[in-house]
Every structure is written in structure tokens, then in C-alpha cells.
Amino acid sequence: MKKLLLITTGGTIASGHSHSGGLAPEKNGADMLPVLEDVSFDVLDLYAIDSTDVTSEHWRLLYNAVTEKLPDYDGIVILHGTDTMAYTGAVLAFTVNTDKPVILTGSMLPFGVPDSDAPGNIQFAALIAKYGKYTGVHLVFANRVIGGADIAKVNSTDKDAFRRYSGFRPERTVRFPENGGRLPAVVKLTPFTAGTDIMRAAEGHSGMVIETYGAGGLPTGEITEAVTELAKKMLIIITTPCLGGTDLERYEVGRRALAAGALPGGGMSAECAAAYLWITENSELQHIASGCE
């Protein structure tokens, strides 16, 4: 008989209506257990938050729980909110080195409401964990299986809310930050962004992720000048909101970003790149290959 651990962290999947009328986490794991033949479950209700409230301390609690408990189980299923799923998935994918399944899932509708996708997502996640075909950290959602560092939420209402960003997979795992890590800045480039915005955003941070356009690049002038100056003292990664990732060699604006000293995100989404910068605190980070399938 397989033995699985269900870890709950809150999110829509565990939510009910609060006194103010909005959804807030309230259910325990014992209320949401699937029934599978030849599988026994233990439950760890780790914390109960809307995933919008996630912090690095929550990641520490989750990482510690996964790494401490995993030797005693055939796999772990983690119930998590969808809004920051991409960050949590990347953090775990970069730090948890295992040949067992660690499966994230959640839902767009709370468990127990009519037509909820929660029971189906939990059931499928548990099946994936039971059979162990997908080892390491993955998201299971709406019958999709997506690598933990490759998660892109593309819809806030549709039950089929996630997509594979690029096929990115970490080439190695790194040590979880012992001291909490220094925080990277994440900046979204728009036609309204000024060079001074980039400089201000960098203050007090250990590195920067700039989410640009299309295949990636920087506009001529003060923004490129700001990145050139910042790249002398911190690592700057260029990413894109577009599925598929960046290719800074394709256009002149991308080559301009490389000449300024920025690193290409390759197959990393902005969430993935930010998580990696935070985990490594810059000291171990070098240019990494796209890692795409």
C-alpha cells in the first residue's frame, strides 16, 4: 500500500465565505481527502492563508515540511492557492532534490461548492503521486501536469487556468537560503517606464528581474543606461510575459540588453527567475541554459 502525505496551506481550495463575505481559507485537509485504492493518507495542516499573503517564511515552513516528511512517504500532495503557485512551485523545484513525487494542486472554486474543480484536482494529484511517474516537483491542475519551475497562470476564472511556460526544468538544485535571503526586485517594463524608475526599484535589493516584451529587449536611452549601471553591481535577468521565454539574440533590442550586462531568462518566467535570484542570493547564480524540454 502506498503512503501519501497531504499538506494544506490554504488557498481557494480550502476557502469558505468569511464574515465580510469574501472567500478565506477555513477547511482542513481531513475535509478534502480523496479515496484511492491501496493508498493511505496522513494530513499536515501547515498553515491557512490566501496565497496572495505568501512570504519567504511560508516557503521555509513548506520546504522544511517537505524535506523532513518525504523520507517517510511515497509522495506528497500540497494544496495551495493559485495566485502565487508559480513562485512556490519554482522555489520548491529549485531546492527539493528527490526522486519521489511532490505534487502541487489547487482549485478555482472552493471544495464543497457546486461544480467545484477541487475534488477532481485533488484526486488526479493523488493519482499522479501514487503511481510516481512524475518525480520531483510538479503542478497537477485540470488534467495537466506541469513542471514546478514552469508554471504560468493564464486565467483567473477558467478552471483550466494554468499552462506550461516554456518547458523549463532546473538543471540542478540549490540550497534553500538559511538566513532568509536578500530580496530581488521585479520590474515590469512598459512604455511609461523611466530609467529613474529602474534605479529606484533596485534600491535595497540583491538583483533584478525585468519583465520586458516579446522575445525580450531594452529600449534605447535612459533605461538601457540604467541597466548598464546596475549590472556592474547586481545580476539583472530579462524575462517576458509571453509563453516560450526570451531570445535576446533575435532582435537588436535583445542584443542591446546583453551588451548592457543583463542576463537572458531563457525559459524562465519572471516568477521563476525571481525565485531563483532569491534562493541563490546572487552568489551562486551564473548564466544558466534555458533547460527547456
Active site residue 83: yes
Cβ neighbours of 160 (radius 10 Å): 13
Reduced to 3 states (helix: H, G, I; strand: E, B; else coil), residue 254 is: helix
In angstroms, rounded to a whole number, what is the distance separating the alpha carbons of residues 195 and 229? 11
φ and ψ at 39, to 5 degrees? -135, 130
Between strands 162-164 and 136-141, the pairing is unpaired
Choosing from 8, 9, 82, 193, the catalytic residue is 82
Choosing from 8, 9, 12, 239, the catalytic residue is 12
Q: What angle (nearest 5°) sits at the alpha carbon of residue 83, between those of residues 68 and 173?
A: 40
Active site residue 153: yes
Which letter does DSSP use for residue 99 in this model? S
Phi-psi region of 236 (alpha: psi -120 to 50; beta: other; left: phi over 0): beta
Phi-psi region of 240 (alpha: psi -120 to 50; beta: other; left: phi over 0): beta
Choosing from 47, 134, 213, 251, the catalytic residue is 251
Residue 192, Cβ density class (10 Å: 0-12 exposed, 13-18 middle, ≥19 buried): exposed
Largest pairwise CA distance in the chain: 63
Choosing from 42, 83, 197, 247, the catalytic residue is 83
Helix (H) or strand (E) segment spanning residue 227: helix 222-230
Active site residue 228: no
Which of 91, 57, 53, 52 has the alpha carbon at shortest distance from 280? 91
Cβ atoms of 162 and 85 within 8 Å: the answer is yes
Active site residue 52: no
Cβ atoms of 33 and 7 within 8 Å: the answer is no
Catalytic amino acids? 12, 82-83, 153, 251
